[in-house]
Amino acid sequence: MASESPISGPSRRLRARRLLASGLWLLLATAVAAAPEPAVDLGQNLTYLRLRSLPADAPALTAAWPAPALVVDLRYPAVEGSPAIPAGLPSRPRHAPLFVLVGPGTPADALAALRAAAPALITLGLPAPGVTPDLVLAVDPAADRRAYDALDAGTALDALINVKIAKERFDEAALAREHEQDQAGTPPPDRPAATPAAAPAAPAAPAAAPAPPPVDVVLQRAVQLHRALLALGRLPGD
């Protein structure tokens, strides 16, 4: 009978250790990839949670459920199997609002499960099959989806809901300077002097206007509604 090589035993043990280590790393990487994203604090006791996949994001929903005021984004989740919403969610207090953002991809059964555990639930967004929002917003579905995807593409949440409008500054001093220039017959810097008529030049091709930044109107309305209820004293303060 052939004798076993003196290195065959240690080699098998080394290979086994390597396989075990690679398997552990694979399990760890899978667990990290599947970990639900934590909720986001929007200030003034308002929390935002996006449900991207159900029931995979159920632990994140359970963790965020006790928030004094909660926005649950249920517009475009990927639903695999059932139940989509974790069973046994405690009933939220009547003074703790739950704003649910709905859209074409909202599963009606998941929304019904949330409504059963939240007396102060308000839906807002776009209609969906079997779903009629309490507040229907006139938003283009394609624009809503672009704004939704922008967050996953790296756009900051604050940039999607707080739109800054740049206005040209025109104060009293600028008005006085323009008046003095008009009196002196000197055109202001932004009004060039008249020149003799010349042959019309060929019209230049209009420059392409930059695409406006995406705005998540649905989430923006939920935040505004929460702030309005706070201002009216309908919700507990900080």
Spatial distance between the Cα atoms of 174 and 4, rounded to a whole number of angstroms: 96
Q: For residue 86, is the peptide bond before it cis, meaning its omega torsion is within 30 degrees of 0?
A: no
The pLDDT > 70 percentage for the chain reads 62
Q: Taking residues 32-49, what's their average pLDDT?
A: 76
Kindly state the average pLDDT of the residues 128-152.
93
> What pLDDT score was predicted for residue 7?
44
CATH number, position 88: 3.90.226.10
Q: Considering Cα of 86, then 88, then 90, then 96, what sign does the dihedral take?
A: positive
Whether 20 contacts 14, CB under 8 Å: no
In a domain? residue 184: no
pLDDT of 5 higher than 50: no
Spatial contact of 65 and 90, defined as CB atoms under 8 Å apart: yes
Segment 161-217, tens digit of pLDDT: 985 544 445 456 656 666 566 666 555 555 555 555 666 666 666 666 666 789 999
- Name the amino acid, one letter, at 229: L
What confidence tens digit (pLDDT) does each residue in 167-176 have? Answer: 445 456 656 6
What is the pLDDT at residue 235? 83
The reported pTM is 0.68
Report yes or no on 209 lying in a domain.
no
Least Cα distance to 48 among 38, 62, 35, 34 occurs for 38
Residue 68 lies in a domain: yes
126 residue type, one letter: L
The pair of three-digit structure tokens given for residue 74, joined into one six-digit string: 């249920």
The reply to whether 71 falls in a domain is yes
Number of domains in the chain: 1
Domain membership of residue 179 (yes or no) is no
